[in-house]
Amino acid sequence: MANQAAISLQAICYSRGSLSLLDQRKLPQETVYLEIHTAADGWSAIREMVVRGAPAIAISAALSLAVEVSNSDFKGTAVDAASFLVERLGYLESSRPTAVNLSEATVKLQNIVKKVAETTSNPEVVFQAYLEAAEIMLTDDVAANKSIGCHGAAIIASGLQTKQLSVLTHCNTGSLATAGYGTALGVIRALHSGGQLERAYCTETRPFNQGSRLTAYELVHDKIPATLIADSSAAALMKAGRVNAIVVGADRIAANGDTANKIGTYSLAVAASHHGIPFYVAAPLTSIDGSMASGEEIVIEERSPNELLFSHGGLGERVAASGIDVWNPAFDVTPSNLITAIITEKGVITRNVEGFFAITEFMERTA
């Protein structure tokens, strides 16, 4: 473990053979980085919420195995190397089941190493191919996020008749949840840099408080005018006319546009619909799972009861009566009919004439 100066909001610090992850459980009071040496270290960091956010989870998983590979003295054939990587990637995928980015990344990386193993007898060639593919994920994510921010700022501003917008977001979707810049928070950053943002509102995001601990931290760091609200006050804020648009991230988007995101997102979408406020989802195309017809098929992760029984997301003193039962889903699913549009790095997915999201057509057109 190493303490590092908070020079930037970089959650993932990587160079070949070395990986450290910002321990987001300790923010904003402490800036502590955990050194990751193996895939097992990466699995634990993801599972225990050291790192969170769908893009960051996938990248951290891939790079944790990259570090293990870089520092190993592997003995075996190219086929053995591919088998080792495929097995370790499958293990990493089990750390958090809801975020599609992780499963998409593992399948993509598994296919790469298996294909390379068919063309060589040298295990180092297989490992090199894996390292290059994992490292590309890191750089590609930042570029994709900035593109999401640009498309998002344009669509939100064009749909409203005011020059200064107030935007509400939920959970954390910024530099701390990605390789950098962010998805939904990237849209807010883009609006701010373009002089179009009056104020950002962020929810506390119970029970792990990613909004109050992480999003607020990023907004203050970037000097973006912002206000923190309790989760339960969001509808009242909308009723008061203080929100022009809502933009959230996504952990998995089904083929029909149904979107799984941090618990509480569905409540925001229902309230937004009631108040006539546009509700946007901002996510990379890797968050879209075309194999799932609807949100009914999305597996929802349930977290430890301790996150509700104890303060600070399970890390503090007990706050609930002993013996009480707990239901603590980490995510909920927002039906597509409550979503105004889905903002991606390739553009904005809107509805077709039947009222459904033409996701398949969009992905074919932008491939």
For 190-240, write each residue's pLDDT tens digit.
999 999 999 999 999 999 899 999 999 999 999 999 999 999 999 999 999
Co-location of 169 and 30 in the same domain: no
Q: What is the CATH number of the domain that holds 114?
A: 1.20.120.420
Angle at 226 between CA 60 and CA 243, to 5 degrees: 105
Co-location of 127 and 225 in the same domain: no
Catalytic annotation, pick one of 23, 231, 251, 258: 251
Co-location of 115 and 174 in the same domain: no
Co-location of 350 and 249 in the same domain: yes
Using DSSP, state whether 296 is helix, strand or coil: helix
The pLDDT-based confidence of 121 (bands split at 50, 70, 90) is very high
How much is the average pLDDT of 298-315? 91
Q: What is the CATH number of the domain that holds 276?
A: 3.40.50.10470
Average pLDDT, the chain: 93
Co-location of 68 and 147 in the same domain: no
Q: Which of 141, 171, 186 is the last residue of a domain?
A: 141
Co-location of 354 and 342 in the same domain: yes
Other beta carbons within 10 angstroms of residue 337's beta carbon come to: 14
Co-location of 92 and 160 in the same domain: no
Is 251 one of the catalytic residues? Answer: yes
The whole domain housing 92 covers 2-141
Co-location of 115 and 149 in the same domain: no
Q: What is the pLDDT of residues 328-352, one digit of tens each?
A: 999 999 999 999 999 999 999 998 7
Integer Cα distance of 362 and 360 in angstroms: 5
Burial label for 177, CB within 10 Å (0-12, 13-18, 19+), is buried
State which amino acid sits at residue 293: A
Co-location of 94 and 159 in the same domain: no
Co-location of 242 and 324 in the same domain: yes
The whole model's pTM is what? 0.85
Q: Which of 141, 167, 195 is the last residue of a domain?
A: 141
The pLDDT-based confidence of 306 (bands split at 50, 70, 90) is very high
Q: What is the pLDDT of residue 4?
A: 36
Q: Which of 141, 174, 207 is the last residue of a domain?
A: 141
Q: How many structural domains is the chain composed of?
A: 2
